[in-house]
Structure 1
Amino acid sequence: MKSRSVINISIIGLLFIVLIQLGGMVYAYKAQMKEAEQSINKYFWMAFTETVDDIVNNLPYPDGTKVNIIHYPVRLKLGKNEFVNRGMQQTAQVLQKVYKLKEFPLAKFDSLLHKKLEYADIKGKVTVERFNVNTGEILESTNAGMRTTIAAITSEKAFIYKDRGEAVRAIVVFPFANIMRNVLILFAVTFLLLGVAVYALVLQIKSLIRQQNNLQEQQQDFYVLAEQMREPVIEIISEMPREKWEVIEEKSTSLLGMTEKTLSKAKTEALLNPARKRISLKTFSIIGLTGIFLLLAIWSAYLYRISYERMEFKVQDNFEKAFYDETYYNRCISFFSVYKDRKEVIKVTRNTPYVDRFLENIRKLSVEKGYHFWMNGILVYHIYNKYDVNSQLHAAYTMQDSINNSAQPPIVFSTQFADSVFALELHKNDISSESDIQKLAYPSGELLAHTGKPHVGIMDMTTKLIPLDKDSTECVQGVVRSPQSHIVASIWYMLLPLGITFLFICICVCIQIHIERLQRRLKQFQQDFTYSMIHDMKSPLNSIMMGAHVLMGGKLANKPEKIEKYKQLMHDECEHLLTLSGKVLMLTQIDRGELQLHKETVVLLPLLKDVTEKFLLKAIKKVHFTLDCKENYLVYADMFCLREVINNLIDNAIKYSKDEVEIAISCEESDGFTMIKVRDNGIGIPLKEQQKIFGKFERLPAGSRKSGVSGFGLGLNYVQQVMEAHSGTVAVESVEGSYSEFVICFPLC
Structure 2
Amino acid sequence: MKLRTVISLSLVSLFAVVLIQLGGMLYAFHAQMQEAEKSLNKCFWMAFSETVDNLVNNLPYPDNSVAIATYGPNPKYKRLDGNEMNNRTAQQAATALQRVYGVKEIPLATIDSVLHHKLQRLDMGGGLTVERINTHTGEVLESTNPQVNVNSFAAVTSEAASTFKPRGEAVRAILSFPSKEMEKKLLLLSFITLLLLSTAIYALIVQMKSVFRQRNSLQEQQQNFYALAEEMKHPVSRMKNLIATEGWEEIETQSNLLFEETNATLTYAKTEAGQQNTGRRISLKAVSIASLVGVFFLLAVWSGYLYYTTSQKIRYQAEEQLEEAFYREADRYRYPLFKKANPDFEEDRSPTVFLPYADRFMKEIIKVYKEKGYRYRIDLLFVRHIYNKFDEDFRIKMVYDIQDTISLRSRVPIPFSLQFADSVFQYQLSETGFPDRADIHWIKYPSEELILYTGSPSVGFGDITTKLFPLDKDSTSCIHAVVRSPQRTIMGATWYMQVPLLIAFLFVSFCVFFQIRMLRAQRRLEQFQKDFTYSMIHDMKSPLQSVMMGAHVLASGKLADKSEKISRYKQAMEDECEHLLTLSNRVVMLTQIDRGELELHKEEILLRPLLQDISEKFQLKAAKKVLFEIDCEEGCTVYADAFCLREVLSNLVDNAIKYSKEEVTITLSGERTKDGSIVKVRDNGIGIPLREQHKIFGKFERVASGSQKTGASGFGLGLNYVLQVVDAHDGVVKVESVEGSYSEFTMHF
Range of TM-score over shorter length: over 0.9
Would the aligned equivalents of 1:70 and 1:377 in 2 still touch at CA under 8 Å?
no
Aligned to 2:69: 68
1:386-438 CA distances to partner (integer Å, 9 max, x unpaired)? 24223332333333333333324443223333333333333344433332223
**The one of 736, 739, 742 aligned to 2:742:** 739
Matches within 5 A, 1:151-550: 151-274=154-277, 277-278=280-281, 280-342=283-345, 360=363, 364=367, 368-373=371-376, 376-383=379-386, 385-550=388-553
Distance 1:256 1:374, change over 3 A: farther
Structure 1 length-normalised TM:
0.93
- CA drift of 1:660 comes to 1.9
One-letter code aligned to 1:206: K
Q: Secondary structure at the match of 2:578?
A: helix
Would the aligned equivalents of 1:543 and 1:573 in 2 still touch at CA under 8 Å?
yes
Distance 1:395 1:163, change over 3 A: farther
Distance 1:616 1:354, change over 3 A: same
Q: Secondary structure at the match of 1:657?
A: coil
Q: Secondary structure at the match of 2:472?
A: coil
Separation in 2, partners of 1:105, 1:435: 43
Would the aligned equivalents of 1:703 and 1:710 in 2 still touch at CA under 8 Å?
no
- CA drift of 1:341 comes to 5.0
1:586 is the counterpart of 2:593: no
Distance 1:288 1:145, change over 3 A: closer
Aligned to 1:20: 20
Separation in 1, partners of 2:329, 2:386: 25
- CA drift of 1:241 comes to 1.4
1:193-218 CA distances to partner (integer Å, 9 max, x unpaired)? 22122111111111111111111111
- CA drift of 1:147 comes to 4.0
Separation in 1, partners of 2:698, 2:705: 16
Separation in 1, partners of 2:544, 2:147: 95
One-letter code aligned to 1:542: Q
Distance 1:20 1:467, change over 3 A: same
Separation in 1, partners of 2:454, 2:351: 36
Aligned to 1:90: 92
1:46 is the counterpart of 2:46: yes
Separation in 2, partners of 1:305, 1:258: 73
Distance 1:604 1:700, change over 3 A: same
Separation in 1, partners of 2:402, 2:5: 73
**The one of 123, 126, 134 aligned to 1:124:** 126
Aligned to 2:135: 133
Q: Secondary structure at the match of 1:273?
A: helix
1:339-363 CA distances to partner (integer Å, 9 max, x unpaired)? 3455759776775565555565565
1:450-505 CA distances to partner (integer Å, 9 max, x unpaired)? 33444434522222222333433333322223322211111112211111111101
- Residues 452-461 or 124-133, more deviating: 452-461
Separation in 2, partners of 1:618, 1:48: 109
Separation in 2, partners of 1:688, 1:243: 50
Separation in 2, partners of 1:275, 1:327: 83
Aligned to 2:110: 108
- CA drift of 1:29 comes to 2.7
- Residues 296-305 or 13-22, more deviating: 296-305
- CA drift of 1:736 comes to 2.3
Relative contact order (alpha carbons < 8 A, sep ≥ 6): 1 or 2 greater?
2
Distance 1:424 1:691, change over 3 A: same
Q: Secondary structure at the match of 2:730?
A: coil
Would the aligned equivalents of 2:132 and 2:142 in 1 still touch at CA under 8 Å?
yes
1:549-595 CA distances to partner (integer Å, 9 max, x unpaired)? 22122222222122111111110110110110011111111111111
Aligned residues: 746
Aligned to 1:648: 651
- CA drift of 1:448 comes to 4.0
Q: Secondary structure at the match of 1:600?
A: strand
Distance 1:147 1:185, change over 3 A: closer
- CA drift of 1:609 comes to 1.4
Separation in 2, partners of 1:552, 1:11: 67
- CA drift of 1:267 comes to 0.9
Would the aligned equivalents of 2:83 and 2:395 in 1 still touch at CA under 8 Å?
yes
Separation in 1, partners of 2:618, 2:6: 48
> Mind listing any 5+ residue stretches in structure 2 that lack a counterpart?
none
- CA drift of 1:39 comes to 1.3
Would the aligned equivalents of 2:132 and 2:140 in 1 still touch at CA under 8 Å?
yes
Separation in 2, partners of 1:680, 1:641: 21
Aligned to 2:144: 142
Separation in 2, partners of 1:111, 1:730: 89
1:685 is the counterpart of 2:662: no
Separation in 1, partners of 2:284, 2:86: 67
Would the aligned equivalents of 2:53 and 2:388 in 1 still touch at CA under 8 Å?
no
One-letter code aligned to 1:72: P
Separation in 2, partners of 1:342, 1:536: 117
Separation in 1, partners of 2:349, 2:561: 140
Would the aligned equivalents of 1:68 and 1:379 in 2 still touch at CA under 8 Å?
no
- Residues 700-709 or 29-38, more deviating: 700-709
Would the aligned equivalents of 2:329 and 2:417 in 1 still touch at CA under 8 Å?
yes
1:617 is the counterpart of 2:620: yes
Aligned to 2:603: 600
1:25-66 CA distances to partner (integer Å, 9 max, x unpaired)? 322332332222111111111111212222333442433858
Distance 1:466 1:296, change over 3 A: same
Q: Secondary structure at the match of 1:272?
A: helix
Would the aligned equivalents of 1:64 and 1:347 in 2 still touch at CA under 8 Å?
no
Distance 1:431 1:671, change over 3 A: farther
Separation in 1, partners of 2:492, 2:85: 33
Separation in 2, partners of 1:304, 1:268: 58
Distance 1:277 1:646, change over 3 A: farther
Would the aligned equivalents of 1:204 and 1:278 in 2 still touch at CA under 8 Å?
no
Would the aligned equivalents of 1:96 and 1:103 in 2 still touch at CA under 8 Å?
yes
Separation in 1, partners of 2:330, 2:99: 33
One-letter code aligned to 2:182: I
Would the aligned equivalents of 2:56 and 2:67 in 1 still touch at CA under 8 Å?
no
Q: Secondary structure at the match of 1:241?
A: helix
Separation in 2, partners of 1:5, 1:137: 58
> Mind listing any 5+ residue stretches in structure 1 that lack a counterpart?
none
Would the aligned equivalents of 1:400 and 1:468 in 2 still touch at CA under 8 Å?
yes
Q: Secondary structure at the match of 2:73?
A: strand
Aligned to 2:576: 573
- CA drift of 1:727 comes to 1.3
- Residues 60-69 or 404-413, more deviating: 60-69
Distance 1:428 1:256, change over 3 A: farther
Separation in 1, partners of 2:323, 2:99: 33
Structure 2 length-normalised TM:
0.93
Would the aligned equivalents of 2:133 and 2:171 in 1 still touch at CA under 8 Å?
yes
Percent identity of equivalent pairs: 55
- Residues 589-598 or 577-586, more deviating: 589-598
